[in-house]
Amino acid sequence: MSLANAARRSFTSSSVRRGKLGLEGLASKVDLGSSRVLIRLDLNVPLSKDDGVTITDDTRLRAVVPTMNFLKEQGAQVVVATHIGRPKGEPDAKFSVAPIVGRFSELLDTDVVKVDDCVGDDVAQACGAMPAGGVVLLENVRFHTGETKNFDDFAAALAGSCGATAYVNDAFGTAHRAHASTEGVVKFIDGPAAGGYLMEKELVYIKGRKRVYIKGAIDDPKRPLTAILGGAKVSTKIPVIESMLDKCDNVLVGGGMIFTFYKAMGHSVGASLIEEDMVPMAKDLIAKAKAKGVNFLLPTDVVVADKFAADANYKVVPVDGIPDGWLGLDVGPATQATFSATAAASTTVVWNGPMGVFEFDAFSKGTFGVADALAANESAITIIGGGDSVAAVEKAGLADKMSHISTGGGASLELLEGKVLPGVAALDDA
């Protein structure tokens, strides 16, 4: 059996439920049939730019169905707290959770009852009328400043209004935020707390749990371990790169941030994106990789364009031959071949960030080349994190070929860095 297949098999409900923070542990501590469970989900689905209400990708809704079904089957009254977008701490109709009610009801085969606030008398009334196995969806928690500020009075109101006797967090995508609904609320619920199936799956794949077949891509990987890191800016990836240099056999770097590295190496980068203040750090990272014996690969050729546009004129040049006024928008074919060969020889691969501006067809080959290489390596554990990487894999139709696609870009990055996620720490403390 391939490692990838074993990985997928390991995440049957029976293996996940055995966790310290898992749902079966919760069920052993409290009679869910007489409990009201407040569950934090990340249902921040993309909505159509045309009408603002049509869901264009329901992945996040489908991802939490196993957890929701478990709670419903146990007879729990389930109260869902979530958010959409980034409202400014006050009600805003364009960020209402109303558009997800219909599809969520279909997926759960239940009439989801939506409340127009997340605290207050209306919440208490709706929750009080809920049958066993029922689902109440609270309005966007970010309509209150107390959510992102993690104010105690808001966290207490969130727990008290719905009368929660237990708490579940299945919102890995927000677990790196110390918000009221992810961290603060736990101390105001006089009952057990647990992580849902999605939360635990994320933690197992990236950090590992000894009870399952995979011990974690980072803490106890099957080697060779390769990190493929892309994106526009070095500044957003420095902690991850530093962490990967301590753990990986290979670190492959693409995307717009490569030009800051080239600047550090003394190359002319034309009109390419660079972060001048990050040049010394880039030079330091190159030196650290060499000192640690890590195979640190930067592209040897790039695709440059005369403007940032889908219809730009473009050509392939070596990294030391970028013309003045031209900007790099993708890695070149020689680099694609090298990166693909390295990925093919790896047993564990973590990918975060695109290799170029993959939204433009002319500059998408590097990103889709990585996706193809990972999909072809059926014996490897392949973990995809970060919104753009996930979008590229989905666009390429290769999502089902990957071992794990993370639902949390920022959370997965911080977990890779070795940080403690507040939403997870709160469950441990509880």
Strands 314-318 and 327-331: unpaired
17 is in an annotated binding site: no
CA distances from 11 to 40, 121, 201, 371 (A): 21, 40, 7, 23
43 is in an annotated binding site: yes
Identify the sign of the CA torsion 418, 423, 424, 428.
positive
Are the CB atoms for 179 and 123 separated by under 8 Å? no
Sheet with strand 135-137: strands edge to edge: 113-114, 135-137, 77-81, 36-40, 166-169, 193-195
109 is in an annotated binding site: no
Catalytic positions: 60, 233, 387, 410
406 is in an annotated binding site: no
102 is in an annotated binding site: no
Q: What is the distance between the alpha carbons of residues 266 and 92, in angstroms, rounded to a whole number?
A: 49
272 is in an annotated binding site: no
237 is in an annotated binding site: yes
Q: SS3 of 394, please?
A: helix
44 is in an annotated binding site: yes
366 is in an annotated binding site: no
Q: Is 335 exposed, middle or buried (0-12, 13-18, 19+ CB in 10 A)?
A: buried
Q: What is the distance between the alpha carbons of residues 29 and 209, in angstroms, rounded to a whole number?
A: 21
398 is in an annotated binding site: no
Q: SS3 of 351, please?
A: strand
69 is in an annotated binding site: no
42 is in an annotated binding site: yes
Annotated binding-site residues for ATP read 237, 359, 386-389
Annotated binding-site residues for substrate read 42-44, 83-86
Annotated binding-site residues read 42-44, 60, 83-86, 142, 177, 237, 359, 386-389
Annotated binding-site residues for (2R)-3-phosphoglycerate read 60, 142, 177
